[in-house]
A and B are shown apart, each in its own frame.
Chain A
C-alpha cells in the first residue's frame, strides 16, 4: 500500500476541474499536497547490506562553467591523491574513494569525532558537448578539481533564433 493511499485527496481527480485562479482553498490544498510530497520524498529507500559500501558520506560539489570548459570541485580533505578515483564516461563524472579514520587503535583515549569518513561515491551527470578525452583532475589542499573542456564544435552548433514581432 503506497503512502499516497493514506492521503485523503487525489491529484488526478482534480486535474480536470481547475477552480478559478486564486481561490484560497485550492491554493491551500495545493500547498498541502506539496508539503506531503516534499516530506515523503525525503524518506530514504531501504538499502540492502550489499549496498553498504556504496557510500557512507557524500562530499559536496560545486560546478563552474565557462565558455570553454566545465569545472567540478569537490571538498574532500584528508585524502591521499592515489586513493581518489575519478572516472569520466559519456554519461558523466564519477568520483569515489575512501577516507580512512586515523587513530584506529586508540587505547582508552577519549575521543570526539565530527569529521566524515568512510567510503564515498558521487556521480555527476555532464552535458554531452564535453571532450572527456582532455579532462584534467587536480587534488590540492583537500579540494578535488576536475576540469573538462568543451568540444569546439559544440560552440558553433548554437544558433541564435531571432524573435520577430509580427
Chain B
C-alpha cells in the first residue's frame, strides 16, 4: 500500500449536551500525546496560537480541563484568500487516575505546545517489599 502523507486536520470538540456554544468560532480538541512512566504521566498537547497567558487548566472533581484561547488571525485590511485550517479555541478534558498527586501537577507552554506533568503519588509508586525468612 502506498505510504500516505498524513494531513493535519483539527478535530472539532463535542459540545456538552447541556451547554450550547454562544460564539461562532469553533472549539477544537487539541491533539494530545500521553506518556506514562513509573513516576509520572505527561500530557503533551498541540495548541498552536496559544501562549502561557491564554491557556487555562482547571481541576475539578477528578477531571482536568484544559482550555486555550486563540486570537483571530485576521489583521486590519487583510482578506482571507485561502484557508486549510480554521482558527478557534481549544478545549479538552481528562479524567485523572487516583494515583495522581494533585498538588504537584506542573504545566508549561512553549511554541504552542502545552506540557502537563502529573506526578504519581507516593503510595502509588511500586515498592519492593522485603521478604524475610521466618
Contact = CB atoms under 8 A, between A and B. Distances in A.
Given A64-B80, A77-B111, A141-B112, A102 B44 contact: yes
B112 A62 contact: no
Contacts of B112: 75, 77-78, 141-143
A116 B8 contact: yes
A141 B111 contact: yes
A30 B3 CA distance: 32
Q: Counting chain B CB atoms within 10 Å of each CB, which of A55, A75, A113, A143 scores highest?
A: A75
Contacts of A142: 46-50, 111-113
B2 A46 contact: yes
Given A77-B112, A142-B46, A142-B111, A60 B33 contact: no
Contacts of B9: 60
Given A62-B80, A64-B79, A77-B113, A113 B33 contact: yes
A77 B36 contact: no
A164 interface: no
A28 interface: no
Interface stretch (B19-27, B69-77, B98-106): B69-77
Contacts of B36: 109-111
B120 to A, nearest CB: 12
Given A73-B73, A78-B112, A142-B49, A58 B85 contact: no
Contact of A139 (B5, B37, B111): B111
A141 B82 contact: no
Interface string A119-137: 0000000000000000000
Interface residues of B, number: 40
Interface string A56-78: 11111111111110010101111
A103 to B, nearest CB: 5
B81 A112 contact: no
B133 interface: no
B35 to A, nearest CB: 5
Contacts of A109: 35-37
Interface of A: 44-47, 52, 55-68, 71, 73, 75-80, 102-103, 106-107, 109-116, 139, 141-143
Given A57-B8, A68-B77, A75-B49, 18 more contacts: A44-B2, A44-B3, A52-B3, A55-B5, A56-B6, A58-B5, A60-B9, A61-B84, A64-B73, A73-B73, A77-B111, A77-B113, A78-B46, A78-B112, A109-B37, A116-B8, A142-B48, A143-B49
Interface of B: 2-9, 31-37, 42, 44, 46-51, 73-75, 77-85, 87, 110-113
